[in-house]
Amino acid sequence: MDWFYELPNLTKSDPEIAALIKKEVERWEFGLQLIPSENYASPALLEALGSVLTNKYAEGYPRKRYYSGFEFVDPIETIAIERAKKAFGVPHANVQPYSGSPANMAIYLATCNPGDVIMGLNLPDGGHLTHGWKTSVSGMFYKSVPYHVNENGYIDMEEVRSLAQQHRPRLIWVGATAYTREFDFEAFGKIADDVGAYLVADMSHVTGLILAGVHKSPVDHVHLIMTTTHKTLRGPRGAMILVTKKGLDKDPELADKIDRAVFPGLQGGPHEHQIAATAVALGEALKPEFREHGAQIVKNAKALASSLTDNGLKLVSGGTDNHLILIDLTPFGAGKGIFASEALEAAGIFVNKNTIPNDPSTPFYPSGIRLGTPALTTRGMKEGEMAQIGEWIAAVINETRVYELPEKEQRAEYLKKFRAEIKANSAIGRVKDNVKALCSMFPFYTGRA
């Protein structure tokens, strides 16, 4: 087994933490990771992330630091920047954002004033909290005008156009966290240009697919791009902000504004170990085999979606164009997401409960589940495995159909009883055995030399 599983130093100094990390490695090895925002980072990337670079405090930017000792750190951050610019074909990249949400806040800081009108996809329709949802700072500091999906689950572009013309937003987001169809960046670009808005692509979920050439690129149509570095890119948990040529044409100072918004506007010292790991991820993504990998993610998602529908499950929009699938459980009743997600976890299949458009229930007890294929594709699984997994998912969900979400005051006791019954369910136990057998055929961490 690899050093990052055996953990010899940690096991000696803190066996309690070491034991839990080893258990988490085993969960990743012997369970099916279908949460679409999760993926397997490579052993090489984990070495960079766990390196001595975590010791370095690095306020500022390469060659413009407030400390000394950057003979080797500055070149690492510069490599990450240059690889990002090359990969996406943009003139400027900032690789310092700690994560996606703070990166989006930096974009607001660089382009908007408090109270400005912004537009983004409504959260229950698949949008992201930071695109203007009411409980997010983005919905508190700015006037949010959300757009929606239509009855078929596709973004309603006529509504986007109408709302933009009516409200004249300062900034429009195109991107999502639970949207299964390809984004029409060109159409969004024309709408933003018509009303003079900044257009920002939050392409966090589909970045790897864009680099693989299996999803349209936003680069020619937007002013700014934010992407996280994990998910389909398979990097560490971080983010980047990219400024396009179109963005610099709109505002020649936009790159400087972004840099100042990240530091000193919102952040202090960047995480250079994370930036080094981002450089590794971008290096991996620039290799020819990454295009094959990205294409396989989509093939797998389509195969899994087909299997799910063949086994009687309803999908939002009827399928997928990308890596992500949203199962609509309302044919079985409202608020079924918690039952399905917890039963699947008991079977070793990890998804997340999720709202669906026009959800009749609440976000904590939603009527859908969200799943995707990036992690399983990284393990080497293909269409045949997806067909089998779809059958298992449908079988487990079928075991939950008898459960109904009770009134609020009865939920704690009801869910306690449900969890005990699911744990003892023989059909779910058989699926768990099958899952473990399948996973043993595709080792990633514990089976690598």
Q: Among all residues, which ones are annotated catalytic?
A: 57, 59, 202, 228, 231, 237
Return d(Cα 388, Cα 376) in angstroms, integer. Answer: 13
- Beta-strand (E) ranges in 108-238? 117-121, 143-147, 171-175, 198-202, 224-228
Q: What number of other Cβ atoms are within 10 A of residue 165's Cβ?
A: 11
Contact 143, 117 (CB under 8 A): yes
Could you tell me what percentage of the chain is helix, strand and coil, using 3-state DSSP and rounding each to the nearest 5?
50, 15, 35
Pairing of strands 324-328, 314-315: antiparallel
- Beta-strand (E) ranges in 21-162? 32-33, 60-61, 64-65, 92-94, 117-121, 143-147
Return d(Cα 124, Cα 133) in angstroms, integer. Answer: 10
Return d(Cα 176, Cα 126) in angstroms, integer. Answer: 6
> Sign (positive/negative) of CA torsion 382, 388, 394, 400?
negative
Joined together, the tokens standing for residue 86 give 């090359």
